[in-house]
Amino acid sequence: MSIERELFITEVALRDGSHAVAHQYTTEQVTQVAKALGEAGVPYIEVSHGDGLGGSSLQYGLSRTNEMELIEAAVSVCGSSNIAVLVLPGIGTIKDLKEAAKLGAKMARIGTHVTEADVAAQHIQTAKELGLETVGFLMMSHMASVHKLVEQAKLLESYGADTVYMFDSAGALLPHEVKERIHALRQSLSVNIGFHAHNNLSLALANTLAAIEEGATRIDGSIRCLGAGAGNTQTEVLVAVLDRMGISTGIDLYKIMDTAEEIIAPILQAPQEITRDSLVLGYAGVYSSFLLHAQRAAKKFGIDSRDILIELGRQKVVGGQEDMIVDVAAELAKNKAIYSV
């Protein structure tokens, strides 16, 4: 029986949430979550290292469990849901993509920094050849003008992406900025438009509704806000709000609420709150996945993690430059030592 959906939600807790649990998911956890999400009727469930396939490394954080094992486990229990994988060209390879497809992944989500769409061409084309539904996405979208964003999105469309997403990776955009950007994308592209928010400024839901109002029909959510920084648009809340708005997602509200409460809450190392550090991510426009790296560096060098994040924002450091976090912390600690003499 096919389910009526006007809007398609991709649940990202098993990928974006990997950042929040320092990539420590076990096969048992992924199996339990993917099964429950499948039973709730979530159409797409993303499973990968937080930084995508191939992300397990000293630079990005070592995974506890091989992600292919997690993907295989999720595929085996997700029922009629589709497993999606995330790939950042330069980290994830074509070989990784092929392996995930072989294990039963049905969607590839291929992303680049907002000004670098051209590096996604080969990955998008391969995903299409593998018969995968293909999403192209642009990260850190607050860092580019509307004109630049549209130019880059058109490239993703020209490579064959079925859907183009705008990612507010830092949770830095305000609702009117989301509106303007999604409106421009809708005017300029023929493919589906998607939006991925972070809740660092407590605006994920407001921004998501602004995006939907302007024509986005693909939305990312993380159940119980289990995503990087303060998490993403909270899936179960989004489902409830859309239901009140008369927009069908095909997701069972009670089942998704139960999954959040009974399965996800016990996995969380701490409740997903807007802490002073996650607030600074949004305020300073810093990549949400830098949070734990910056907190570790702050501890190591005996400085305030907010100072590191503010400096990273000032220097416009982007995904892939995680090594800069320690450099910035060391420099701040050195200056602190000099000025305190």
> How many CB atoms within 10 Å of residue 143?
18
Q: Which residue's Cβ lies closest to ligand LCEJXURD?
A: 169
Q: Is 147 a catalytic residue?
A: no
- Beta carbon nearer to Mn ion, 284 or 333: 284
HSE, CB side, 13 Å, CA atoms: give it for residue 68.
Answer: 11
Least Cα distance to 157 among 131, 187, 122, 121 occurs for 121
Distance CA 313, CA 53 (A): 26
Q: How far is CA 333 from CA 147, 317, 322, 323, 327, in A?
A: 39, 19, 18, 16, 10
Binding mask 4-43 for ligand LCEJXURD (x = CB under 6 A): ------------x---------------------------
Q: Is 16 in the site for Mn ion (CB under 5 A)?
A: yes
Q: Is 231 in the site for ligand LCEJXURD (CB under 6 A)?
A: no
Provide φ and ψ at 103, rounded to 5°: -80, -5
Distance CA 84, CA 13 (A): 12
CB of 278: closest distance to ligand LCEJXURD in angstroms?
Answer: 13
Q: Is 46 in the site for ligand LCEJXURD (CB under 6 A)?
A: no
Among 17, 38, 43, 50, binds ligand LCEJXURD (CB under 6 A): 50
Binding span for ligand LCEJXURD by CB under 6 A among 49-57, 246-254, 263-271, 301-309 = 49-57
Q: Is 84 in the site for ligand LCEJXURD (CB under 6 A)?
A: no
Is the dihedral angle over the CA atoms 74, 167, 180, 283 positive or is it negative?
A: positive
Least Cα distance to 138 among 95, 185, 177 occurs for 185
113 labelled ligand-binding = no
Query: Which residues in 146-205 contact ligand LCEJXURD (CB under 6 A)?
Result: 167, 169, 196
Distance CA 100, CA 222 (A): 22
3-state secondary structure 80-139: CCEEEEEECECCECHHHHHHHHHCCCCEEEEEEECCCHHHHHHHHHHHHHCCCEEEEEEE
Binding span for Mn ion by CB under 5 A among 16-24, 37-45, 66-74, 277-285 = 16-24
Query: Which residues in 261-290 contact ligand LCEJXURD (CB under 6 A)?
Result: 288-289
Catalytic residue (one of 19, 23, 123, 142): 19
Q: Which residues carry a binding-site annotation for Mn(2+)?
A: 16, 196, 198
Q: Which residues carry a binding-site annotation for substrate?
A: 15-16, 169, 196, 287
- Residues making contact with ligand LCEJXURD (CB under 6 A): 16, 50-52, 88, 111, 139, 167, 169, 196, 228, 288-289, 319
